[in-house]
Amino acid sequence: MALRDELIMTKKRDFENKFQNAVLSNPDLKSKYGHLWVGIKNNVDELRKYIDEEYAFTIRPFIKPVYFTIAENLIKYAEQLQLPEDQREEAYKKDKLNETKGKIFPTGIDEELQIRLIRAHGNYITGILGKDNPLIKKIFVGKENNELAKYVFESSLLTSKEKIEKLLMKSPKEILDSQDPFIYFLRNTQLELKELRAKISEITNTISVLNQQLGEAAFYVYGNQIPPDATSTLRISDGRVQGYEYNGTIAPPKTTYYGLWNRWYSFGKKDYPWGLHPRWHNIPEGLDLSIPIGFASTNDIVGGNSGSSLININKEVVGLAHDGNLESLAGDFIFLEHNNRTVSTDSWGLMESLKHVFKANRLFEELEKGKIE
The domain locations on the chain are 15-226, 244-369
User: What amino acid occupies position 278?
Assistant: P
- How far, in whole angstroms, is CA 355 from its chain's centroid? 35
Return the pLDDT at 231: 65
Return the pLDDT at 250: 93
Residue 288, classed as helix, strand or coil, is coil
Best CA proximity match to 20, nearest among 37, 7, 6, 4: 37
Residue 320: strand pairing partners: 309, 345
Return the pLDDT at 341: 95
- 306 Cβ contact list (under 8 Å, min separation 6): 321, 322, 323
228: preceding bond cis by omega (within 30 degrees): no
Q: How far apart are CA 208 and CA 200, in angstroms?
A: 12
- 331, 299 contact by CB (below 8 A): no
User: What amino acid occupies position 120?
Assistant: A
What's the average pLDDT block by block, 10 residues per block, for the chain (373 residues)? 86 94 97 97 97 97 97 97 95 93 94 97 97 96 96 97 96 96 97 97 97 94 79 80 92 96 95 93 95 96 87 94 91 87 96 96 90 77
φ/ψ (deg, to 5) at 152: -65, -45
H-state helical runs in the chain: 6-24, 27-33, 36-57, 66-81, 94-102, 111-129, 134-140, 145-155, 161-168, 172-176, 181-187, 190-222, 257-266, 347-356, 361-369
How many secondary structure helices (H) and strands (E) does the chain include? Answer: 15, 7
Which helix H or strand E contains 309, and what residues bound it?
Answer: strand 309-311
User: What amino acid occupies position 201?
Assistant: S
Best CA proximity match to 221, nearest among 37, 40, 38, 24: 24
Best CA proximity match to 167, nearest among 74, 67, 66: 74
Taken in order 114, 117, 118, 119, the sign of the CA dihedral is positive
- 316, 350 contact by CB (below 8 A): no
Best CA proximity match to 364, nearest among 373, 338, 39, 213: 373
User: What amino acid occupies position 267?
Assistant: F
Return the pLDDT at 359: 94
From the CA atom positions of the chain, what is the Rg in Å?
A: 29
Q: State pTM to two decimals.
A: 0.75
